[in-house]
Amino acid sequence: MTAADDRPDPAYEGLRAAVDRRLASWTETAVARRVWERDPTVWPAAPPADVRDRLGWLDAPARARADREAYVALRESAREDGIETVVLLGMGGSSLAAQVFGTAFDRPPGAPDLRVLDSTHPDRVRAVRLGLALGRTLFLVASKSGTTLEPNAMLAYFWQEVAAAGVAPGRQFVAITDPGTPLERLGRERAFRAVIPGAPDVGGRYSALTAFGLVPAALLGVDLDRLLDRAETMVRDCGPERPPADHPGLRLGAFLGELGLAGRDKVVLAASPRFCAFPDWAEQLLAESTGKRGTGLVPVPAEVRPLDPPRGADDRVWIEIAGTGEPPIFPAGPGTPPHRRFSLDDPYDLGAEFFRWEFATAMAGAVLGIDPFDQPDVELAKELARRRMGAGKARTPPPPASPSAGPDGIPAALAGWMAAARGGDYLAIQAYLDPAPAIAEGLAALRGALREQLRLPTTLGFGPRFLHSTGQLHKGGPPSGLFLQLVDSPRHDVAVPGATYSFGEIVRAQAEGDAEALRRRDRRLLVLELGVDPVAGLRRVTEAVRG
């Protein structure tokens, strides 16, 4: 069973008293019981409706038992029809748990391959299309609201492609959406293979143990009973009568929240290869839940150890997720930041970890004095992007770059941007690029160069996916981010059937809307145009960083 390593940690000693005081306070005020009673006073900063309507994840494992047969029936019908590939069309909370299942579990014989399309870049859309045998592909269209721009555009495109290939489209599509949404109606009108309801009282980033995570898991051959057994064990351990000192969710929540209050807000997440997608899932949960009112935890996934010594006071905490018995990921020694290790006996322990981290994140929000269930700045960026699309301002290829952003101006622009760095900052690379291997490799090199030069924690997100996760933290969290937005000019655009815009125009509008939202929050932002060859452009930027 999953376990947290709570061994004495010299760097943690200064925080232990604050955590112990928090747990004692929660004991006196019966917080564990009040959470399960959906008591809004646990989160005074949240409107009571947010609490009443967003705590369904507490019961999600139990409710999933009732839905298990429908998920397994879908898996069996897909196998009978020879489905070889499942393509999930979704963003953020609708896709990240599925990616965790896809990487953590071995693929049993006969199970389909899982691919996640969470990019509107036309080069990525084209690449996914070219790799599919459409008659043996099942598309999962995942959107809680049923109105999310990206999966709806992808649905329109792949529906047309399937029909053009001479395949009756309906049986190749499944909708996962909340009851009563436009996507639910469309799925029934078009006779999708299945229309599976989400849980209206569970926010997207808390939905790993609902249909959004469990339907892909079932299609991949995951034993849902075994997974839910582990989840329900953690539910009992986090129950209303459990003392806070022995409560996994409250203990981790107090640890994270008190770290944030103490200014140690950089949560460096690393995982062993089998669990490598878990930090991305945790990144959205932490960033979107806590990044508001000028505060928040800054998750830093996939960065084993920034160059030491860090710039300014060390404000990191290290968290690792690995298999039981695997060696430590973070080196220990004098000056090591506070650290926690979560050991999983096997991938089925993910059921327990999903629940533990959801509970803990909600309670970290209570410590920080924010509403961990809303995402106001995500909506701002979406609205600004919609305005650009509606006004026809987003164009591909892009308008001429300003001198500071052109190839000749990259060194000077970067130098000015980097000069604004200070202790306590973090770097956020926002790549509105195709997440192809060569581009990902170039971004990794750039990330490493920036870390070496500035000695700051660095994060990397592909747009528009990160808009649905860390985008909230970037605008609503602490003003400690330096943002580097990278855009290119796709070689071949892809039209969205039935729309007046293309995928190239969507991704450009999203980048421009994101930039405007950051500027409205007075964030330190540099936008660089990489042109039609983003790999070469990334090399130029990396060379400029290294000087």
Strands, E, within 395-506: which ranges? 426-432, 458-462, 481-487
DSSP one-letter code for 169:
S
DSSP one-letter code for 111:
P
Question: Is 376-546 a domain of CATH 3.40.50.10490?
Answer: yes
What would the two tokens of residue 436 be? 């192809």
Each residue's pLDDT, cut to its tens digit, for the chain (547 residues) gives 677 765 555 566 778 899 999 999 999 999 999 999 999 999 999 999 889 899 999 999 999 999 999 999 999 999 999 999 999 999 988 999 999 999 999 999 999 999 999 999 999 999 999 989 999 999 999 999 999 999 999 999 999 999 999 999 999 999 999 999 999 999 999 999 999 999 999 999 999 999 999 999 999 999 999 999 999 999 999 999 999 999 999 999 999 999 999 999 999 999 999 999 999 999 999 999 999 999 999 999 977 565 567 788 889 888 999 999 999 888 777 667 788 899 999 999 999 999 999 999 999 999 999 999 999 888 777 788 788 877 554 444 443 333 345 566 889 999 999 999 999 999 999 999 999 999 999 999 999 999 999 999 999 999 999 998 899 999 999 999 999 999 999 989 999 999 999 999 999 999 999 999 999 999 999 999 999 999 999 999 999 999 8
pTM of the predicted model as reported, rounded to 2 decimal places: 0.95
pLDDT of residue 405: 55
d(CA 222, CA 236): 22
d(CA 200, CA 198): 6
How far from chain centre, in Å, is Cα 465? Answer: 8
CATH 3.40.50.10490 in the chain, residue ranges: 13-37+230-368, 58-222, 376-546
Asked if residue 117 lies in contact with residue 92, where contact means CB atoms within 8 angstroms, the answer is no
DSSP one-letter code for 107:
-
pLDDT of residue 13: 73
Strands, E, within 273-396: which ranges? 298-301, 316-323, 339-344
Q: Which CATH class is domain 13-37+230-368?
A: alpha beta
How far from chain centre, in Å, is Cα 132? Answer: 25
b/e 93-108 (16+ beta carbons within 10 angstroms → b): bbbbbbbbbbbbbeee
Q: Cis bond leading into 273, ω under 30°?
A: no
pLDDT of residue 71: 97
* Residue 176 φ/ψ, nearest 5 degrees: -120, 110
d(CA 345, CA 306): 29
User: In 10 A of CB 369, how many CB atoms?
Assistant: 13
SS (H, E, C) 340-353: EEEEECCHHHHHHH
Q: Are strands 3-5 and 339-344 parallel, antiparallel or unpaired?
A: antiparallel
Length of the chain, please?
A: 547
What would the two tokens of residue 423 be? 């202790």
Tell the CATH superfamily of the 58-222 domain: Glucose-6-phosphate isomerase like protein; domain 1 (3.40.50.10490)
